[in-house]
Every structure is written in structure tokens, then in C-alpha cells.
Amino acid sequence: MSASDENAVEKAASTAKDNKDIARGAGANFFGFILRMGSRLPFLILAVALFEEELYGRYNYTITIIEICAAFATFGFKRSIFKFIHDDAYKDKYSIEQVMVSALLSSILVGIVFTVLVIFGAGFLAWAFDYPQMVDGLKSLAPMIIIITALDVILAGTRATRKMRYEVISRSLVEPYVLLGAMLLFFYMGYTTFGLLMAYVVALIAALIYAIWGFCHLYSFEKTMRARPDFALMKSLMRFSGPTAFHDLALLIFMRMDIFAVKFFFSEAILGVYTIAQQFATSVEKIYQSFYPILAPVMAKNLVEKDFKTAESQMIMVSRWILMIQSILVILCVFYGTVIFDAILPADTDTSLALMGGIVLFFLMVGETINGGFGIADLPVIYRSPLFNPVISLAMIPVYIFLTYLFTQYTEYGPVGVAMALCSTYLLMNLIRVAVIKKLFSINLLSFKVFKVIIAALVTTGIFKMLKDYLPIDVNSGLGIAVGVALLFIIYGLCLLLIAMEKKDIEKIKARFL
């Protein structure tokens, strides 16, 4: 066998292993998503019932500011750090432990700066958004920026080994269930004003403790303790990750700016309903994020080697998987969004708020689905031309502000207009991303294989809409809801099988379950 043939065989085996790692890692993270959803619904119902919409809205408003700051303090290391682990120019010079310690110190230093800024700037933020009630909570929560930053960087280190269980357990089991339990504990201890924020603190600290424990199991504890930050390495990390940090910051501001817009234009009660919709919409976001942790380290190798053809096939594969899962949630929202809000909101709540919540939820979910299916287009840009991502994200902020003002002030849409603006901007942003990677790397994410999933979802929606009017039971109330949901899943599964699935998909399903 010639050397070229041997290389081809090795490359094929490596690609097959990469795809297997992506599937296994995504499966683990999706299982984590299911676990997290198991606590999400009880948390939403109990938080609104115990603390009411106003305090729940204030809680989300406060943690949004904290998480935006933490996103920048992490400095893009959640994704960019893998270059320093896989690139020969660095891995032959620095141990993984030294890379991790250097990245951790860099992000913590940035986190300290943001913590100080938030503490001293809380009053100004309260004045700017006419929200004086948030000052005490924001100041108290500011140090959590450092905790979140450390948690994200440490978990990135565990993902570098392609072992996802520590991230899954930390983020999807420890954090959400401790949050739920701590919320109940603090409420019954009488902390009705700050109970939610206190529970948030306890949950993040618990998640960090487990992440540290997991990191020490994957890497040599002795080497980690002996590793010293290298200032030349820190400089390289900061220089390379800087554009990604601004991209993450701009993206999170963009993704959470709707919270600020709703509070600016509408009441605290409407903010509470909107944040409930947003929390449900994050279920779609988490599906996309469940693939990202394993996709980033796996693709890093191909991107560093400039093997864009393999990267394209992996991106199309993952995009299809993401859309297959996300689409059924959007379809459920179309038919049962208002039902969800009727069940969650207190009985004496104005019925128009439930209707508004259902429509807001639909537009938020569509936006997250667009961003989930095509948002992975930012990965090649991070590794080859990192400056493009923050430019695109920052450019979208004024677009979103303009659309929000237009939809809320010059139409009758009200709070729904905020969600419509977000959805529209997601569409524009991802079209630009897809065009950029097509131009720079000849990676075409707009494959017909991807669009077949969307077609299957649309066909499912049409079939169920026609069927539900002829069914002998009401699928919008009582036990009929369970029947309707089950029927939707069956129809969607058949549509995927007939329209969207390929021979390889069917073979994988048969191999796993038959």
C-alpha cells in the first residue's frame, strides 16, 4: 500500500472516530438537556407561584447582566482554548495543565475587573433602565462573575479530552437541581425578596466544586498544582481569543437585549411573562449548545489542518441533527404555547398575558432554531479569521435596536414585537455567517440535506393542523393534550423518516435499537 493510500485510510479512520465522538458527546449533552428540563419546568412553575411574576422578572434581569459580564470575562476560552491544545506550535511547548492555568488566571483577572465595574456601576444601570429595585441584588451578585468564569474555563478543559460527563453533570444535574432545591429552602426560610438570587449563588458554587473535582480526575492533580501561568502564553491566549471574547459578549448582549427592551418599554409584570417565555426558549438554545462542547474540540483539529471538506460534512451532519430535535419543540409551541402559559400563570392573571406569552414563545423559539441550526457557522471563523465574528455580532446590535423600536412603537405588536425583532435579526445574522464561511472556506451549510428537515417540520405542522379539527377529542385540553402531543411526535417521526432521513441515519438507528 502506498504512502498516499495509507494516509487516506488513516484520515478516513480519524474522521469516523471524530464523527463517533461528536455523536457520543452530543448524546451525552442531550441527555443532560433532558435532565435539565426535568428541573426547568418545576422551577418556572414554583418560582412564579412563590415569588410572582415581578420578582421572577427582576431575578432574570439581574442574572442577565451578570452573565453578560461573565461571557466577556471568560474571554472566548470556552472555544478558542482548543487551538492551544491541538496546535503543534503550542502543545509541544506547553502542557495542557499550563495552558489551563494560564487561561484560568487570565479570565479571572478580567472577571475581577467586571466585578468591580458592576458593583460601582449598579446605581447607574438602575438609573439608565429606571429599575432601582435591582441595585442591591446586582451588587450582591457581582462576585459570581468570577465563579461563572472559572466554571466555564475549567469545564472547557474537561471537554478537551472529549469526555462530556463532567460538563453534563455539573451544568445539567448539579446546577439546576441545586437551584430548585435551594430556591424552595430559602423561600420557606422567609427570604422572599432575595431567595431566587441566593439560590442562584448556591447552585453555581456547587457546579464549580463538581467541575474542579472532575478536572482533577481527568488531569494530574500534582501537575496542575505545579503548573505556573506563563505570561507569554497568557499574552498569546488573550490576543487570539480577544475577537472571540468580543463576539461572545456581543452575541450574549444581542441574545439578552430583549430583556432590557421589554423592561424599558413595558411593565415588570410583562417582563415576568416574557422571561418565562425566554426560559422555555432556552430549551431550544440548549439543544444547540449540547452539540457545541464536543463539536468545537473535534473540529478544531480539522480546522487547524485546513481540512475544510471534512469540517463541512461534520457541520452539515450536526446542523441536521440540531434541527431535527429543535423543530419538534417549535411545532409543539405552535399548538400548545398558550396552553403552557395558561397552566403556569396564576389563575387570576389576565388571559391576554397567556396569549401574549404563547406568541412571544413562538418567535423566540423560531429565532433560537435558526441560530441553532446555522450558528455553528461561527466555528470555522474562530479558528481561521476570528475578527469576522465580533464584527458580525456587533453590527447586529443596532439592527436589532432599530427593529425593536420599529415593531414596538409603530405597530400594535407590543411585547411580541421585541421577540419578532430578535427572530428577524437572528435570520439576518446567520445568513451573513453562512455567506462568510462559503466565501472564505468554501463551506456550504445551505445544503438541501439541511432543508429537508425544515420541510419535514412544515409538513408535520400542516398535517396536524388539518387532523386536529377532525379528531373525536379536544387535543387542547385535559387528557386530549397528551393524545395530541403523542400524535404530533408520531407524525413528525414519520415525516422525518420519509422526507429528511438518509440511509446512513436509518442504519444508525437500526444498529442502535434493533
First to last CA, the chain: 37
Closest by CA to 98, choosing from 228, 198, 194, is 228
502 vs 226, 319, 380, 418, 450, CA distance in Å? 50, 14, 25, 38, 11
Closest by CA to 209, choosing from 160, 162, 164, 147, is 147
Per-residue pLDDT tens digits of the chain, which is 514 residues long: 555 555 555 555 566 666 666 666 666 666 666 777 777 778 888 888 888 877 888 888 888 889 888 888 887 777 777 777 766 667 767 777 888 888 889 899 999 999 999 999 988 888 877 788 888 889 999 999 999 999 988 988 887 777 778 888 888 889 999 999 999 999 999 888 889 999 999 999 999 999 999 888 888 777 777 778 788 888 888 888 777 777 777 777 767 788 888 878 887 778 888 888 888 887 677 677 667 666 666 676 677 677 788 888 888 888 898 899 889 989 999 999 888 888 888 777 777 888 899 999 999 999 989 988 888 888 787 766 777 777 887 888 899 989 999 999 888 888 899 999 999 999 999 999 899 889 888 889 888 999 999 999 999 999 999 998 888 888 888 888 889 999 999 999 999 999 988 877 676 666 655 5
Contact 419, 280 (CB under 8 A): no
Contact 295, 372 (CB under 8 A): no
The three cell numbers of residue 359 are 406568541
pLDDT at 188: 92
pLDDT at 416: 92
Alpha carbon distance 196, 215 (integer Å): 29
Alpha carbon distance 286, 264 (integer Å): 27
> DSSP string of 174-220?
IHHHHHHHHHHHHHHTT-TTTHHHHHHHHHHHHHHHHHHHHHHHHS-
The three cell numbers of residue 253 are 448582549
pLDDT at 4: 54
> DSSP string of 425-470?
HHHHHHHHHHHHHHHHH------HHHHHHHHHHHHHHHHHHHHHTT
pLDDT at 428: 94
pLDDT at 88: 67
Alpha carbon distance 174, 349 (integer Å): 33
- Computed on alpha carbons and rounded to an integer, the radius of gyration of the chain in Å comes to 23
> DSSP string of 17-59?
HHHHHHHHHHHHHHHHHHHHHHHHHHHHHHHHHHHHHHHHHHH
Greatest Cα pair distance in the chain: 77
Closest by CA to 271, choosing from 95, 53, 125, is 53
Q: Exposed (0-12), middle (13-18) or buried (19+): which is 129, by Cβ within 10 Å? A: middle
Q: Model-level pTM? A: 0.74
pLDDT at 297: 65
Contact 61, 131 (CB under 8 A): yes
pLDDT at 459: 96
Q: What is the 3-state secondary structure (H, E, C) of 344-411?
A: HCCCCCCHHHHHHHHHHHHHHHHHHHHHHHHHHHHHHHHHHCCCHHHHHHHHHHHHHHHHHHHHHHCC
pLDDT at 140: 92
